Structure 1
Amino acid sequence: MTTQEIAGRLYELCQKNDSATAHDELYANDVTSTEKNMAGEVETIKGLDGIREKGKKFQSMIEKVHSGYTNEPKVFGNNIFMEMGMDVTMKGMDRMNMSEMCHYETKDGKIISERFFY
């Protein structure tokens, strides 16, 4: 797949909130994921299994998703940029709006890294 094709498929799956299929179809096994953790420290997770586990952990913290959005991706070379957000109630917390800028890097037809900026 080209980076443009990956971006289109990723956008389609993100709109359906289907990260499992995105991981299966689009991610390299040795992918890295970098973002701030709850303590505000930058953390990098290595490997597809680690990213899947991170996603399950995040989903387990959600009480209710009220709405969400994914803006169309922008592709520059082998880089994909997308803005995503959600109106969500986390367990034990008040309802809040979350938004992030997502950066994905591709190589050999797969996503090799993702970074999230809040």
Structure 2
Amino acid sequence: MTTQQVADRFYELDTKHDFQTIYSELYAPDAKSIEPAHSHWGTVQGMEAIHEKGKQFNELIEEIHGGYTNPPIVAGNFFACAMGFEATFKGQGRSKTDEIAVYEVKDGKIISEQFFY
């Protein structure tokens, strides 16, 4: 798939909240996930580590109140989406997060994701 096709499929699945298909269909097995320096999540490599990071994050959430993902913008081997959500975190209260997510594609698969928030 081209970067545009990966981006379009990502957006289609993301709007359905079908993250399992996103990971299994669009990600390379050794993909890297990069969080901002101020985040306690850091950088992880490989789908097992990405799944574990997601699991740990989801365990912090008491309730999700809503979210969004804007259509992707493609440039070369990269695409970016503005996205965000509002949630109540266990012991921390309700908060809203907006971010830019940048994805790198190689050989038809996402090889890295990087989040800016």
TM-score bracket, normalised by the shorter chain, equals over 0.9
Match in the other structure for 2:112: 113
Mark the CA change 1:98 to 1:11 in structure 2 (over 3 Å): closer, same or farther.
same
TM-score (norm 1): 0.93
Q: 1:46-100 CA deviation, whole Å, 9 max, x = no partner?
A: 1011001111111111111111000000000110100110011111111111111
Percent sequence identity over matched residues? 50
In 2, the alpha carbon distance for the partners of 1:77 and 1:50 equals 27
Match in the other structure for 1:31: 31
Gap runs ≥5 in structure 1: none
Q: Specify the SS of the correspondent of 1:6.
A: helix
Equivalent AA in structure 2 for residue 3 of structure 1: T
Match in the other structure for 2:69: 70
| 1:17 CA drift (Å) | 2.0
Gap runs ≥5 in structure 2: none
Please tell me whether the aligned partners of residues 20 and 52 of structure 1 are also in contact (alpha carbons under 8 angstroms): no
In 2, the alpha carbon distance for the partners of 1:30 and 1:18 equals 20
In 1, the alpha carbon distance for the partners of 2:40 and 2:58 equals 20
Match in the other structure for 2:14: 14
In 1, the alpha carbon distance for the partners of 2:41 and 2:59 equals 21
Structure 1 runs of 4+ aligned residues shifted over 2 Å read 39-42
| 1:41 CA drift (Å) | 5.7
TM-score (norm 2): 0.94
Residues 21-100 of structure 1 correspond to what in structure 2 (within 5 A)? Answer: 21-36=21-36, 40=39, 43-100=42-99
The count of residues paired between Structure 1 and Structure 2 equals 117
CA RMSD of aligned residues (A): 1.5
